[in-house]
Amino acid sequence: MESRENGIGGTRRPRGRPRDWEDKTSQNTIKSLDRAMEVFEFLSEAQGMTLSEISSEMGHSPATVYRILVTLETRGLVEFDVEEQLWHIGARAFVIGARFLRRTQLVDRARPILRRLMEETGETANLAVEKGGSVLFLSQVETTANIRAFFPPGTLSPLHASGIGKALLAEMEEERFARFLKRSDLSAFTEHTFIDPGALRHEIEMIRARGYSIDDEEKNIGMRCIAAPVFDMNREAIAGISVSGPTSRIGHDQIKTLSRPVIEATRELTKAIGGVVATRQPT
């Protein structure tokens, strides 16, 4: 007899989520778990805090925070320094984060490409994606030079002050880009940061024309970055690759030369993940 899915008397296929998946009301959330995750995320950003400091800044009672921290400690997600009396993020958090990075073939396929890019340019090579309105760095191959850029996996950077961020902005549909300009706080990090929507729009148009973006000391004085997008099978920009280093080594007269291996790296990764390579040629 043929079984029916979800039918009376038939077999039910395992579901990945319940029918009330979209219902995010309090009846479908675990308040104690939610509070624990708040403490965990807060500690991961702050690092090295006493129980009193965490309790005071988060507005929770010391007893509640302590129970949460002890529970997280048993799972290795946080650690306690007895001598300093400080709580830190734990090694287990890194292990779990690393598993997230392995979830996609993007990181694995990118590693050899990033290494070749670093060897060819002599500068640090980076891979990042857009996440929640920011740039999330997934992988990096550092140069062996003494002075170098450092964006460890998990680092977040604003889209408008990042080489990869601006490369991804340049690939956004106009409607989405317009929403970004309207809703985003274009914070200034240096005197070179694009904080005027009109100026940023002009910069994005230039990036679209030449095929690569430049972070010209817009996030950190003395550091320069060149980036280009990686595309999926639908020709949608899903990531970016960049090289970054000090302005003493990446001068303005070297930007165009360095942009070519960056673009080649993005094309190689695009093909490696079954994506469609951009047709326009950089100027």
Whole-number pLDDT of residue 144: 84
Question: Residue 60 carries which DSSP code?
Answer: -
- Residues 12-36: pLDDT tens digits? 555 555 555 455 555 556 888 999 9
- Residues 126-136: pLDDT tens digits? 999 998 889 99
Whole-number pLDDT of residue 151: 76
- What are the angstrom distances between the C-alpha of 220 and each of 14, 91, 193, 230? 50, 29, 9, 24
Q: Which domains does the chain have, with CATH numbers?
A: 27-94 (1.10.10.10), 104-272 (3.30.450.40)
Whole-number pLDDT of residue 3: 40
- Residues 196-238: pLDDT tens digits? 999 999 999 999 999 999 999 999 999 999 999 999 988 999 9
DSSP 71-85: HHHHTTSEEEETTTT
In the chain, how long is the greatest CA-to-CA distance? 75
DSSP 161-218: GSHHHHHHHTTS-HHHHHHHHHH-----SSTTS--SHHHHHHHHHHHHHHS-EEEESS
Whole-number pLDDT of residue 240: 97
Q: Tokens 């005027």 — which residue?
A: 196
51-58 and 31-46 helices, crossing angle to 10°? 120
CA distance 174 to 68: 45
Residues of the chain with pLDDT under 70: 1-29, 98-104, 279-283
CA distance 114 to 152: 14
62-74 and 31-46 helices, crossing angle to 10°? 80
